[in-house]
Structure 1
């Protein structure tokens, strides 16, 4: 079985080919092609197959992480979208909620008002109304729906959302309206709010569905083009696409629910980090994925990827009611630009030099000082051995642009470069604190895993700022996201709104909701050809104390939901509430708001990482003067450069050291030691003071 993981980033497309039978890995990086990401995927596919000595047709499965949907949201570059909703509710998408993101700011940015996904002129209303129980109060005006669809066509709309009140209980009106719209607009992408997020809270439900409609045509078109390109190259294996919940889905499911890809590429990195951490002996991990423009932070607790709260999950400022892994992204990467703002403060990022022209070190005409230039000035990058020697860095160009900034500051180039890295690392450390300390989690109890092209350069110093004692660098840091793709199973989700209160539970109804969802997911797995013995169904529920405005997700046991089974659920909720908020109300009534079913379909994937070969003894391939801040003083160290693949396994070595490999560079500071474990991970440990 040969499987291929392909992660498309802003600068590079990363690929990893795994022959599962031989436990052989082949990696490759190729420049991304933002205008048409499929070109970069196909180029990389041909190159990595040639490198591995196989034909494209030998690949059995291709797992793909994409940023097409994410970028469409971040750049506000989606389809011209229209909406059909109930009379009197045209402005739900604009009004939002009384609870604003920043309570006391009169200048805050409200994206649903400042840059709406669906402009007001494209939002049409029709008669038709259900009550909260899903009972029809006013019949759907089908003629009005038809007229609205024709008007949307005349307005140049290419994607339509149908969103009605209480459709999460009874989707009949939405489904019928969608049928009419599809008849009138056969070329349009048509979606319903109940088909995307069948949950109560109409603003969040409508907004999530609006995202799906906004990015739907672009995502669907990309997947179709990619499939056609792959087929033309001779690929006969299945295509699977990573979703925001950490699993993969078929192209057919992605075409139906494009919003499920909103964190596709980012989630793959956290999955890869968690998988590597498990085999390295740790199930409590902070993942730090640093690329050219951004740093993505994920938390793994007890081996499970932390999921975002459905009330706080968002993309580009818009609320999302979909299963999503909790990932926090900040503008911090190798291309981040260092500058003085209008007030004279020293800043780094979020603006980036990108891939073109990129940092001055790349020799493509870049004239802005970047993090990559700062690392080069400090000797932390080997100019003759970047990308495994495929690229030579321009030291003089980096010193020139850093020198200009240094002149503004009245500092030396080395002080300026080190200051830029300190600012960047502090930004990342503060971002990690927001996901740990502010949620009652002590980061010192975790291992920090740094990956991405720039993660291994910064991981140790960020860990030092957090008091983290152990850092884990994967064998192939630059393609960890691509590797994470090869660790996922098919994963689909179903949910139903329950509104069941402890003490008055209809046990048969509650069990029936789970049975109904199981039938729904089983039908999907049947369509995908997943054998019954390779399926798992995991029950969950969103619970709250009656009167609360937020819920907590709790595991629900299999089997009939009688009083004994529900007692386990109530107790688990009390314990989770106490852990999350510091207290629990044991005597208060509990409400099951939503019941959920997570379906997993096992696919062929990576099992155990290949064991490291290593060498008998480490011999430096070079050395250079590297500058580090030690005891609050900048010092220059004669620092050895090692080829990482030549490092012996299990031998503890002392920093400072620079470890070179094709897809990344690892920096070990003074006062840190390191060794290679049996799976070729570099494990850094902070020396005791």
Structure 2
């Protein structure tokens, strides 16, 4: 059986083909075709199959991480969307919660008002009303619903979100209007809020449904066209799409629920990093630096962190679907260095991307980028860049950085080093925001460096944070693609459940859990999994009475007794202490949401990669001068260059060194030690001397 994982980023498309039976893999990397990302993907699959001498018919599964939904929302380039809602609630998605992103700014940019997903003229209301318990107060006016749908059709909307008050208790009115819409306007993409997020908080629920409708047509067309392109190449494999929750979905489910794909590729990166660093290490920071952005995830003994309701915002909109907690900043190899209007030296968040790219690509780029700075400091070599398959032009990078240096009155190499210092500090601060600011000590973690640019910057970032070791996966530049081959198919279902710790209703709780489990197992059966293959997990979103947001406790399997429920309450108190530093065990707790997650196992690549035999000296390429800031001063170092594919298991290298491989470049700082582990990882250990030197360098830079 052969599997293909494909992650499409803003700059490059990363691919891996794995032969599960033979435990072999082949990797490939191509520039992303921005106009139609599937073009580059198909070309990459063709090349991969040629490399592996594999027939298309041998491919069983294609697993895909995509940014199509994310980019559609970020660029606000979605479908013209209509909305049908309860009479009197037309402006819920505009009013929101009167939140101000910047409390003291007179120039507020409130996305749901300045860039509405559904314009007011396309928001229609109909008489209907359920009370907070799901009882009908006002029957649905079906004639008014038909009129609303026909008006939206005449207006030219492509997608319709149906959002009724209190539909999370009973979706019968939403379902009926959806049926009317399918009858009167079958071409439209239809979304009901209860099918996407059946929970209270109508602003967040309505907005999430509108996002699904807004990005839906574009995502559905993309998946359809991709499936057709694969079929035209005689690839009959099952297509699965990565979701934000860390699992994959069938192409059909992904096409109907595209809002669950907003962190598709990012989630795969966290999974890939976690898989790469799992041997003997339970606490990991995944650091995925690509050409456009950097994604940071946290993995602990309990697994990867899941975003809480208060953190699930993308492009300024609340997104209430399960997702891994990932922090993204605009820092990558293509980040542009410039002097702003106030004379400050800055790097990012704007990026040169794949087109025109850094100046050294000679594709029309004129602005200095992080990649150009690495070229000037001789950390990237034109002979070995992307395995020698892509040309870069150092003379162009030198000229561009020199022009920027002249503008600031600085030395060429100081300017290049300054670019890296700024971008590294930006990324280190992002890691602090996910660790120190959440009560975690980064010094107790290992940093997993991934992405095409991650291994080039990871050691300096780790030093600034006091992290003692850096793990470089075997294929860091395609870790997200590899992460796709470590995941399973996953479904999440939720239901509101208001239960107080002082008066629990165990009979109703157990009945509702059973209902959710039955629904999840039914979905997994339809995906082709047997009951023996399935894994179910149960969770409760809890809070103290009077609080506005919840923390998630795990519910044990089986029938819930009073003792088991007491364990859920105690787990909540412990989580509250870990998150906020205190708890109120004497206060009543309310359980507001039940969750059941069902998992079906997918085929995976496991086992050790085939490593080279021989000695470290066999991997040596040359010695050249590179530049490092040590003891607060930028100095020249004679640096050994190596080829990673020829490094043997157990081999050790002392820094400074540069290690090349097809998908990335690895930098070893002076006074650091790298060891090739049996699983193919490269473990970089940072000494106390190098930590001290880095602190001096940071102080000198300030």
Q: Same fold (TM over 0.5)?
A: yes
Which residue in the other structure is 1:673 paired with? 673
User: The residue matched to 1:534 in structure 2 has which SS?
Assistant: coil
Structure-1 separation of matches of 2:37 and 2:613:
36
Structure-1 separation of matches of 2:224 and 2:575:
43
Structure-1 separation of matches of 2:613 and 2:317:
48
Give 1:303 deviation, angstroms. 5.5
Q: Are positions 1:272 and 2:272 aligned together?
A: yes
Please say if residues 611 and 678 of structure 1, whose CA atoms lie closer than 8 Å, have aligned partners that are also in contact. Answer: no
Q: Structure 2 unaligned runs (5+)?
A: 690-702
Q: Are positions 1:579 and 2:546 aligned together?
A: no
Give 1:101 deviation, angstroms. 3.2
Which residue in the other structure is 2:133 paired with? 133
Could you give the per-residue CA deviations for residues 102-139 of structure 1, whole angstroms, max 9, x where no partner exists? 33333232110110111111101110000000000001
Q: Give 1:616-631 correspondences, 5 Å limit.
A: 616-619=615-618, 620-631=620-631
Please say if residues 379 and 627 of structure 1, whose CA atoms lie closer than 8 Å, have aligned partners that are also in contact. Answer: yes
Give 1:311 deviation, angstroms. 2.2
Higher mean displacement: 604-613 or 405-414: 604-613
Which residue in the other structure is 2:152 paired with? 152
Q: Give 1:223-242 correspondences, 5 Å limit.
A: 223-242=223-242
User: The residue matched to 2:364 in structure 1 has which SS?
Assistant: coil
Could you give the per-residue CA deviations for residues 482-522 of structure 1, whole angstroms, max 9, x where no partner exists? 00000000000001000111122211111111111111111
Give 1:622 deviation, angstroms. 1.5
TM-score by length of 2: 0.97
Which residue in the other structure is 2:569 paired with? 570
User: The residue matched to 2:458 in structure 1 has which SS?
Assistant: helix
Which residue in the other structure is 2:470 paired with? 471
Which residue in the other structure is 2:338 paired with? 339
Give 1:611 deviation, angstroms. 5.0
Which residue in the other structure is 2:293 paired with? 294
Higher mean displacement: 356-365 or 634-643: 356-365
Which residue in the other structure is 1:258 paired with? 258
Which residue in the other structure is 2:487 paired with? 488
User: The residue matched to 2:64 in structure 1 has which SS?
Assistant: strand
Please say if residues 82 and 122 of structure 1, whose CA atoms lie closer than 8 Å, have aligned partners that are also in contact. Answer: yes
Give 1:615 deviation, angstroms. 2.8
How large is the RMSD of aligned CA atoms in angstroms?
1.1
The count of aligned residue pairs is 688
Could you give the per-residue CA deviations for residues 413-456 of structure 1, whole angstroms, max 9, x where no partner exists? 10000000000000000011011110111001000111111001
Could you give the per-residue CA deviations for residues 72-120 of structure 1, whole angstroms, max 9, x where no partner exists? 0111110000000011111100111034333333323211011011111
Could you give the per-residue CA deviations for residues 241-283 of structure 1, whole angstroms, max 9, x where no partner exists? 100000001012112211111100111011000001113x211
Higher mean displacement: 6-15 or 101-110: 101-110
Which residue in the other structure is 1:76 paired with? 76
Could you give the per-residue CA deviations for residues 182-215 of structure 1, whole angstroms, max 9, x where no partner exists? 2111100001000000010000111111110000
Q: Are positions 1:192 and 2:192 aligned together?
A: yes
Structure-2 separation of matches of 1:283 and 1:608:
19
Which residue in the other structure is 1:508 paired with? 507
Please say if residues 32 and 354 of structure 2, whose CA atoms lie closer than 8 Å, have aligned partners that are also in contact. Answer: no
Structure-2 separation of matches of 1:26 and 1:92:
51
Structure-1 separation of matches of 2:165 and 2:101:
24
Q: Are positions 1:387 and 2:372 aligned together?
A: no
Please say if residues 608 and 678 of structure 2, whose CA atoms lie closer than 8 Å, have aligned partners that are also in contact. Answer: no
Structure-1 separation of matches of 2:616 and 2:445:
30
Give 1:671 deviation, angstroms. 2.1
Which residue in the other structure is 2:307 paired with? 308
Q: Are positions 1:104 and 2:104 aligned together?
A: yes
Please say if residues 19 and 25 of structure 1, whose CA atoms lie closer than 8 Å, have aligned partners that are also in contact. Answer: yes
Please say if residues 614 and 645 of structure 1, whose CA atoms lie closer than 8 Å, have aligned partners that are also in contact. Answer: no
User: The residue matched to 2:309 in structure 1 has which SS?
Assistant: coil
Please say if residues 311 and 321 of structure 1, whose CA atoms lie closer than 8 Å, have aligned partners that are also in contact. Answer: no
Which residue in the other structure is 2:696 paired with? none
User: The residue matched to 2:464 in structure 1 has which SS?
Assistant: helix
Structure-2 separation of matches of 1:340 and 1:472:
34
Please say if residues 310 and 323 of structure 1, whose CA atoms lie closer than 8 Å, have aligned partners that are also in contact. Answer: no
Structure-2 separation of matches of 1:618 and 1:68:
44
Structure-2 separation of matches of 1:132 and 1:236:
48
Please say if residues 83 and 124 of structure 1, whose CA atoms lie closer than 8 Å, have aligned partners that are also in contact. Answer: yes
Which residue in the other structure is 1:221 paired with? 221
Q: Structure 1 unaligned runs (5+)?
A: none
Which residue in the other structure is 1:210 paired with? 210
Could you give the per-residue CA deviations for residues 538-562 of structure 1, whole angstroms, max 9, x where no partner exists? 0001000111111000100111122
Which residue in the other structure is 2:456 paired with? 457
Give 1:688 deviation, angstroms. 2.0
Structure-2 separation of matches of 1:585 and 1:266:
36
Q: Are positions 1:243 and 2:225 aligned together?
A: no
Which residue in the other structure is 2:376 paired with? 377
Give 1:614 deviation, angstroms. 4.3
Higher mean displacement: 106-115 or 266-275: 106-115
User: The residue matched to 1:621 in structure 2 has which SS?
Assistant: strand
User: The residue matched to 2:54 in structure 1 has which SS?
Assistant: coil
Q: Are positions 1:533 and 2:532 aligned together?
A: yes
Structure-1 separation of matches of 2:364 and 2:166:
56
Which residue in the other structure is 2:700 paired with? none
User: The residue matched to 1:325 in structure 2 has which SS?
Assistant: coil
Please say if residues 45 and 56 of structure 1, whose CA atoms lie closer than 8 Å, have aligned partners that are also in contact. Answer: no
User: The residue matched to 2:617 in structure 1 has which SS?
Assistant: coil
Structure-2 separation of matches of 1:621 and 1:39:
35
Which residue in the other structure is 1:87 paired with? 87
Please say if residues 611 and 647 of structure 2, whose CA atoms lie closer than 8 Å, have aligned partners that are also in contact. Answer: no
Structure-1 separation of matches of 2:104 and 2:308:
23
Which residue in the other structure is 2:519 paired with? 520
Please say if residues 278 and 303 of structure 1, whose CA atoms lie closer than 8 Å, have aligned partners that are also in contact. Answer: no
Structure-1 separation of matches of 2:631 and 2:224:
56
Which residue in the other structure is 2:119 paired with? 119
Structure-2 separation of matches of 1:647 and 1:522:
47
Please say if residues 385 and 392 of structure 1, whose CA atoms lie closer than 8 Å, have aligned partners that are also in contact. Answer: no
Structure-2 separation of matches of 1:634 and 1:617:
28
Which residue in the other structure is 1:547 paired with? 546
Which residue in the other structure is 2:695 paired with? none
Please say if residues 657 and 667 of structure 1, whose CA atoms lie closer than 8 Å, have aligned partners that are also in contact. Answer: yes
Higher mean displacement: 497-506 or 455-464: 497-506
User: The residue matched to 2:679 in structure 1 has which SS?
Assistant: coil
User: The residue matched to 1:76 in structure 2 has which SS?
Assistant: coil
Structure-1 separation of matches of 2:370 and 2:622:
23
Give 1:625 deviation, angstroms. 1.0
Which residue in the other structure is 2:636 paired with? 636
Structure-1 separation of matches of 2:299 and 2:212:
28
Give 1:637 deviation, angstroms. 0.5
Which residue in the other structure is 2:36 paired with? 36
Q: Give 1:36-55 correspondences, 5 Å limit.
A: 36-55=36-55
Give 1:143 deviation, angstroms. 0.7
Please say if residues 615 and 649 of structure 1, whose CA atoms lie closer than 8 Å, have aligned partners that are also in contact. Answer: no
Runs of 4 or more, structure 1, over 6 Å off, are none
Could you give the per-residue CA deviations for residues 634-675 of structure 1, whole angstroms, max 9, x where no partner exists? 100011110011223223321000000111100111121111
